[in-house]
């Protein structure tokens, strides 16, 4: 009768255990691997005076051209862990397209939309990303929006603009017109080819506002930052900030200026607003 040797059994299992562990590790990357579907598309629109481009995840690049149409190149990427999830992504994530006269509206749409905004919940079934490169007539009015993994670049346009981002920066190069340039987590950098003639605002929560104007700027400026400095190389004079409507409290009237600092550049006139929480406010003369 053969007797068991406990020490020999322990030694044998010690030799086998690393092999089993390594086999388990080899399974993990295959299980976690994502499927990816990438596609491209080109769209063209004639007679456009206003473009609304409402993205969710991905970048937007817009450049002014001498052409009379809007030319849109779209790169769409879907990622999912299984074929069924990928099929669901292809079914649910769509680019909604509307043209009404001179207005074109492109909206990345799906179940992640809540009303007019976006709502993301935990446990996403798939991932998606749209990247847009657009050529437009120079005088077009722009309304551009995106949220995640995003950057917005606008070059050489002269129309009115409303540019909004959440998790990414905004760059505008050699633009004209007026409007708003707002983001949450990222810097704002704008260079004007012609000084704005209408009220214009620049805002971020976590980012520097770096805006360059031409010589001869005449503006009434309101500036605010909590953690950063405010600088300009234009000659300025102090300008009082009008308080908001008073609040009636304990029999007294309380007036608030919301922490804004006022300055007048040149003879004043056009209202420019700069507001950030964590970042600097830089108002530059591009000729210097």
Give tens-digit pLDDT for 78-88: 999 999 999 99
As a whole number of angstroms, the distance between CA 279 and CA 103 comes to 36
As a whole number of angstroms, the distance between CA 211 and CA 285 comes to 9
The pLDDT value recorded for residue 114 is 72
User: Does residue 90 surpass a pLDDT of 80?
Assistant: yes
The pLDDT value recorded for residue 254 is 34
Q: Decide which of 58 and 19 is more confident.
A: 58
Cα-based torsion angle of the residue sequence 115, 116, 122, 124 in order, rounded to the nearest 10 degrees: 100
Percent of the chain with pLDDT over 70: 80
The pLDDT value recorded for residue 160 is 98
Name residues whose C-beta falls within 8 Å of residue 40's C-beta, 6 or more positions apart in sequence. Answer: 73, 74, 75, 76
The pLDDT value recorded for residue 123 is 58
Q: Average pLDDT, stretch 19-23?
A: 38
pLDDT tens-digit map of 149-187: 899 999 999 999 999 999 999 999 999 999 999 999 999
DSSP string, 217-254: --EEEEEE-SBS-EEESS-EEE-PPPP-SPEEETTEEE
As a whole number of angstroms, the distance between CA 124 and CA 7 comes to 51
Angle 106-109-110 from CA coordinates, rounded to 5°:
175
């Amino acid at each position: 009768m053969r007797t068991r040797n406990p020490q020999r059994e322990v030694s044998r299992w010690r030799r086998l255990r690393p092999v089993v562990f390594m086999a388990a590790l080899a399974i993990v990357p295959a299980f976690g691997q994502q499927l990816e579907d990438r596609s491209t598309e080109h769209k063209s629109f004639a007679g456009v005076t206003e473009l609304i481009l409402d993205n969710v995840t991905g970048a937007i690049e817009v450049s002014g051209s001498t052409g009379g149409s809007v030319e849109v190149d779209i790169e769409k990427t879907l990622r999912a862990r299984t074929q069924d999830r990928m099929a669901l992504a292809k079914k649910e994530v769509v680019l909604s397209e509307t043209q009404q006269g001179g207005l074109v509206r492109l909206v990345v749409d799906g179940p992640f939309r809540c009303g007019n905004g976006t709502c993301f919940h935990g446990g996403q079934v798939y991932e998606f990303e749209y990247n847009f490169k657009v050529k437009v007539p120079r005088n077009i009015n722009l309304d551009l929006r995106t949220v995640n993994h995003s950057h917005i670049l606008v070059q050489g346009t002269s129309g009115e603009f409303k540019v909004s981002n959440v998790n990414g920066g905004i760059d505008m190069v050699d633009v004209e017109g007026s409007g708003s340039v707002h983001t949450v987590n990222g810097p704002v950098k704008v260079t004007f080819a012609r000084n704005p003639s209408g009220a214009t605002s620049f805002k971020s929560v976590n980012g520097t506002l770096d805006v360059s104007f031409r010589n001869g700027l005449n503006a009434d400026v309101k500036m605010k930052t909590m953690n950063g400095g405010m600088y300009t190389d234009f000659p300025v004079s102090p300008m009082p900030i009008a308080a908001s409507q008073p609040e009636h409290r304990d029999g007294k009237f309380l007036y608030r200026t919301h922490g804004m600092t006022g300055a007048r550049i040149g003879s004043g006139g056009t209202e420019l607003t700069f507001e950030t929480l964590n970042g600097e406010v830089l108002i530059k003369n591009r000729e210097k």
